[in-house]
Amino acid sequence: MRSSIIFLFIVCFSLSGFSQSLEKINSLMEKADYKGAKILIDKIMSDPAKAKEPENLYFKGRIYNSLSADKSLSAKERYDLKVEAYEAFLQNQELDPKDIRMKLEAYLSYLDLYGGFYDLGVQFFNDKLYEESFNSFSKSYDVENYIQKKGYTYEQTKLPIVDTALLMNMGLAATLAKKDVEAANYYRKISDANIYGKQYEAVYETLAAYYEKTGDTASLNTILSKASKYYPSNNYLNDFALRQLEKSGGKQALYAKYDEMLKNDPSNFPLAYNYAIDMYNAVYVNDEKIANAEAVKNRLTEVLKIAIQNDKGIDATVLMANHLYNAASDAFSKADDVRGTKPADIKEKKDLKDKANKLMDESIPYALAALKYFDSQESLKTSQKATRVNILSNLVDIYNAKGDAKKAAEYDKLKTKGL
């Protein structure tokens, strides 16, 4: 959080043409008696005719803005004073085509209001007054935009072209104040400016969630397109992109996107594992059969090998063991379906059985690795116990199929261990 940009400046005005009241006001301001000056300027402004005089409006702005720095006042009172000061300065410029007063002070009052509103936004935020914080940050942003629109420049500081700190604060305050539309609008300014980095990652996540929730597909796709370049390893954003693609493009397009993401980030375990789960479900679980099942099975094996390399647990290994076991079962079923007695049929049946046996052999090391992991744990969750039993059941089936009844019986006895 920045500290406010406070510039104490004294502008020497010629007193010629001053009314006695303004002379008195000027004297009080020089003594920093802003409360007394406010009483006098409020009295002057109570006259509708005098309330439209540029000189009076300028002094109202100066007095109110100066008084808003008084820490003895509440944050709400200081905010209201700043709002009135800002409006008075704007009206002064509207009614004074020569812009005399603001030129003399080099428009520093606007810079002071910009920093003052910002600091109040911080104070409100720290006090958990999020709507008030958002309003104050928004006023700071309004003043900043006005300064930039007018082309005012200052020796003391250079305002950013895109004030990311202010936009982030507005977005966060708006979110906590349950102003989702406003939060998205301000966060979007960061994205539209193609600004990214670790500190802005949450901006893209928030926008993706908001646009999916509101059904704004065009905006969601825009954010996800940028996020794929800026944050390729962000699994939260990747999930949005993959869900969108599955809705519109089907499995082929989805898997192509997974392949692209995995190529760019091969060590991303959640990405590889989720890809593997989707393929596993497509070929073994879902009722609707996938057209290119064998190709998907082959790719599933490849992706699981990548996942296992980056798995700190055992999930990918378990999935590989189950995948190879199920692939072997599918091959055996296909072999049983071959009823012909021609040489080609006999060869096809033999090839399928050979393939099934090969897959069973490949499954065993993964099953044993999973079993070793579970048996090394001090205790297992209910789901882990069920997974362990399933692995043992697969090993029993495999060794029965291989004609090794003794080995099958050994693994069958292990099922009750730890239950």
Question: What value does the mean pLDDT take over residues 344-349?
Answer: 89
E-only strand ranges, 257-365: none
Task: Tell whether 22 and 99 lie within a shared domain.
Answer: yes
Domain total of the chain: 4
The yes-or-no verdict on residue 363 having pLDDT over 50 is: yes
Which of 159, 191, 214 represents a domain boundary (last residue)? 159
pLDDT of res. 416: 80
Longest CA–CA span in the chain (Å) reads 120
Q: What is the 3-state secondary structure (H, E, C) of 349-378?
A: HHHHHHHHHHHHHHHHHHHHHHHHHHHCCC
Amino acid at 358: K
Task: Tell whether 358 and 388 lie within a shared domain.
Answer: yes
- What kind and span of H or E run contains 171? helix 164-176
Task: Tell whether 283 and 333 lie within a shared domain.
Answer: no
In angstroms, rounded to a whole number, what is the distance separating the alpha carbons of residues 92 and 107?
Answer: 12
The yes-or-no verdict on residue 14 having pLDDT over 80 is: no
In angstroms, rounded to a whole number, what is the distance separating the alpha carbons of residues 37 and 32?
Answer: 9
Task: Tell whether 22 and 49 lie within a shared domain.
Answer: yes
CATH code assigned at 122: 1.25.40
Which of 290, 312, 334 represents a domain boundary (last residue)? 312
Per the structure, the complete domain to which residue 192 belongs is given by 161-231
In angstroms, rounded to a whole number, what is the distance separating the alpha carbons of residues 241 and 201?
Answer: 15
Task: Tell whether 119 and 174 lie within a shared domain.
Answer: no
Task: Tell whether 22 and 170 lie within a shared domain.
Answer: no
Task: Tell whether 326 and 369 lie within a shared domain.
Answer: yes
* Averaged confidence pLDDT in the chain: 92
Task: Tell whether 7 and 153 lie within a shared domain.
Answer: yes
How many Cβ atoms are within 10 Å of 12's Cβ, its own excluded? 6
Task: Tell whether 11 and 104 lie within a shared domain.
Answer: yes
Task: Tell whether 339 and 255 lie within a shared domain.
Answer: no
The yes-or-no verdict on residue 16 having pLDDT over 60 is: no
Alpha helices (H) in 46-129, listed in sequence order? 54-67, 75-95, 100-104, 108-126
Encode 92-105: b = buried (16+ Cβ within 10 Å), e = exposed: bbeebeeeebbeeb
Task: Tell whether 71 and 148 lie within a shared domain.
Answer: yes
- Name which of 56-70, 188-202, 246-260, 373-387 the model is least confident about: 246-260
pLDDT of res. 403: 93
Task: Tell whether 75 and 65 lie within a shared domain.
Answer: yes
Which of 231, 260, 280 represents a domain boundary (last residue)? 231
Question: What value does the mean pLDDT take over residues 193-207?
Answer: 96
pLDDT of res. 10: 40
